[in-house]
Structure 1
């Protein structure tokens, strides 16, 4: 399907990051799988989770960009900085770094502020990051704040703020646009890597960014491989788009190689909140998404994809996800996913949705371990609708939600957060989560960077209690 964008833009295929499935609200009755009661360290999947924290040690050219710069400068020093990030992006070679200084960076067209199409390589990544001590902001009303396209790979985005157009949109205006899939004012996204045309991307790191107020998705990864999304704060996204977006989404992961060892897709240490779908999905006329984090259709069943099932393994760990319209975290039509050491609180804010705080739907080989579920009374905590080989264990369920599937070592108890009303989900000294988790040694630190375990055993949830 094609849509023709206004203002002379190129014709693009329908943004399927924008077309997330009907996951919640229509999933059928869950079936209870056979649960294992042993620990699940997955020692054969010990991808270096710490890789997501690395800053590329590049040895190429450093380009400087400043809100007071000029694109006629040479960009080689802070005093001769470019004015636009795009000017630097058009010059980058493997090993280069783009240091972005204070300033506000806006789009000059309805496409994007920064369009990244040039690749690094395995030994020389291209890095876009905030200059030390600076807080640059990309602010846009385009389709994307940052778009990685045309197979650009070995790219790192680090320490930037990307803000969308929500502040300039009213709910009444968004509702008037509910059948308009070609309006970037309501459908724009914050950060996107899109592999559906002109080549697929691999080896992308999206680290330590603040991503917010985009009417479409926050961080969207489409048909890509070897992706790390770590340490980001993702909030107030998905409000106004007609395409059923979420805070962080990985859609139709792509097998760039035959590797099935270790984690290739990593979503860790992120805070996602208040991502919510307020406008019905144009495909169904219903509210379906607005999730904190979704691993979506890695089987590649939708929109005519011929990529086949993704064979790599995905890790979703140490995330704090709360007050999203849809789920906190879930896997849909996806396999080989480990969802461990997360804290999910009062998600399913949308009245139409009650799929769960963390769950799997139409998926297989999903391990859901060491998580805290804090649900609305009467709404689902979890589920595994039409799924197989789904393991729930060593989790805590609280606040009266419906536990569809319960593992042998799962606990129903108040997790004893430090301050629930202020969204401080650290554990008090008397928390039943302390030392009750299973040994999942691939996750060596907690959300705050503290080492796991700190006591006799692993704690449940995103935070390890500190004595």
Structure 2
């Protein structure tokens, strides 16, 4: 047995530079806490050597930590570009050519209401970071600057993108960028942080990325980046953050019937692509948007790779997903066997519809929650001529399916790991499959080497019978923990008591008896672990528990708030609402009858 030692101090921060060990501790005599730890763990306390002698252009990385979990970090008076991860203490900076000499910063560490300040001084040797075909941004930049040198940075990505030419790279200095008007009234202001309408060209894409290894966050209370008719762009290494965590069901219900700009509060998407092609999203974090994390309408040749997409789609009325491809379209019908939509190596969790969606223009709304996949691909419009690839993704705790395929054929779903999706939608499953019309002679999807662990009252595969002869054609060599459909899928999916080593503690390696070539490869799992630690991410379900009482409350409020017919709004005067549970339909005049049946029967529109 290991000896135990007891601490009565909390280490606020430890910085070790080339010459000096700087340790700062505090004792609050009114709040002494004994922390007992194994002696064998002392060597693993998060103390990291941080060399403060740097060179311009050198990527600097340091973990600034203490002995206690739950600490929060920030910087004061830091040089341009330096940023620290709030939850983990990871500090990144790449000094630019105008930052040689002595630079100082103060690290703030907060724990249990106590704050400590630790100054740190850097000596930066001269060098150069100026690149060809570069546009520079900084949180303290100015759109009146030229942007063509690191000492003349622009402020807004919107401006930088409008200036970009094929082959350019837009470098963002570390820090947080917000959209114009952030935090103010939504009436009358632009609904995005940046709108991009220009294009790169084959072999000369336009790249948006951080300067060196710096942490860049685009924070928006509307949309983040909107591509409109744009092509050949790459977004790399950027964090996108929305405001879904600051919104609740009551706020959202107040906007359910609202068709003014005020409803932009719950429409924001992280990256929205409209009629855009050849877009790559690589090594990004997209989180906390009330609408989709990433969406594509009318475009193709889109890649989402090595990214984390989480806690999106909670409040949108549009019925959306973590990565929503509801209306993809290729520019032509050439090369239909090529992969033209690719999702590989992504961690996707907590994306969920927590609000009833509507499309008023249809004249009919079914009051239910039936959206919120982690990843989603759909071709009901029949305009996508190509194949879809989903590979090496870990999808967990999403509201509906981990991956939903609607009218998708001839695609490949392999080496993905699915864990306890369908958190909000009864009857759904880990993988949802709605095949195309069999009369169109679709080629079967290839679904293999996946691992599934569904909730016990959900399904592994939610397959819609569209008249095909074999519901499970193309599905083979997969493993699943038995769920409601275990008997139906036993010939296509091998049932096992466990498929992961320890999923509750985020160990998604294949369980004993399952070979390593199933599920997400180990190197990709390791990259997820590293990113979770670096960004202080906690994979878990969405914060709103969607169940029958919750949905019932939403419906009662929607009926209560139904506005009188108005020729000046977008709500049809003859709109019909259907109760998703009873199947009964109501007009405006019958709104007061709910939840009882309407006094006179109203036909339901379909």
Match of 2:220 in 1: 140
66-75 or 213-222, larger mean C-alpha shift: 66-75
Structure 1 pair 412–120 and aligned structure 2 pair: CA distance change class (3 A): same
State the shift of 1:399 in Å: 4.8
More helix, by proportion: 2
What displacement does 1:179 show? 2.6
Cα 1:410–1:416 change in 2 (3 A) is closer
The whole-number CA distance in structure 2 between the counterparts of 1:62 and 1:414 is 54
Aligned to 2:434: 361
For 1:160 and 1:289, how far apart are their aligned partners in 2?
Answer: 27
Quick check: 2:456–2:484 contact (8 Å CA) kept in 1? yes
Partner of 1:395: 478
Alpha carbons of structure 1 residues 343 and 77: separation in structure 2 relative to 1, 3 Å: same
Q: Does 2:308 correspond to 1:233?
A: yes
Contact 2:392 2:416 in 1 (8 A): yes
Deviates more, 1:255-264 or 1:323-332: 255-264
1:347 aligns with 2:347: no
Which stretches in structure 2 are left out of the alignment for 5+ residues? 1-130, 181-188, 360-365, 437-441, 528-606
1:181, 1:242 → 2: CA distance? Answer: 11
Look up the match of 2:506.
423
Q: Could you state the TM-score of these two structures normalised by the residue count of structure 2?
A: 0.58
Residues 159 and 397 (structure 1), Cα distance of their counterparts in 2 relative to 1, 3 Å cut? same
Tell whether 2:377 aligns with 1:295: yes
| Matches of 1:344 and 1:237, distance apart in 2 | 18
Asked if structure 1 preserves the Cα contact closer than 8 Å seen for 2:314 and 2:355, the reply is yes
8 Å CA contact 1:179, 1:282 repeated in 2: no
- Counterparts of 1:158-307 in structure 2, within 5 Å, are 158-182=236-260, 183-195=263-275, 201-257=276-332, 258-283=334-359, 284-296=366-378, 298-300=379-381
Cα pair 1:205 1:229 within 8 Å, conserved: yes
Pairing 1:306-345 to 2, within 5 Å after superposition: 308-345=382-419
1:267 alignment partner, SS class: strand
- Kept in 2: contact 1:277–1:325 (CA 8 A): yes
Match of 1:44 in 2: none
TM superposition outliers: structure 1 runs of 4+ over 4 Å: 443-446
- Within a 5 Å distance, the mapping from 1:90-105 to structure 2 comes to 90-105=162-177
- 1:141 Cα deviation (Å)? 1.1
Structure 1 or 2: larger strand share? 2
Rg bigger for which structure? 2
The answer to whether the Cα contact below 8 Å between 1:275 and 1:290 also exists between their aligned partners in 2 is yes
Please give the root-mean-square deviation of Cα atoms over the aligned residues, in Å: 2.3
1:275-300 superposed Cα distances (whole Å, 9 cap, x missing partner): 1111101143210111100112x140
CA contact (8 A) 1:192 1:219 kept: yes
Q: State the shift of 1:435 in Å.
A: 5.1
Cα deviation, residue 74, structure 1: 1.5
How many correspondences in the alignment?
370
Q: Deviations over 1:100-125 (max 9, x none)?
A: 11122111133200111110000210
CA distance in 1, matches of 2:416, 2:227: 28
Q: Distance in 2 between matches of 1:404 and 1:138?
A: 47
Deviation at 1:383, TM superposition (A): 3.0
State the Cα deviation string for residues 18-60 of structure 1 (Å, max 9, x = none): xxxxxxxxxxxxxxxxxxxxxxxxxxxxxxxxxxxxxxxxx96
1:416 shift after superposition? 4.7
| Pair 1:400–1:122, CA change in 2 (3 A) | same
Equivalent of 1:384, from 463, 467, 471? 463
CA contact (8 A) 2:380 2:406 kept: no
**How far is 1:401 from its partner?**
3.7
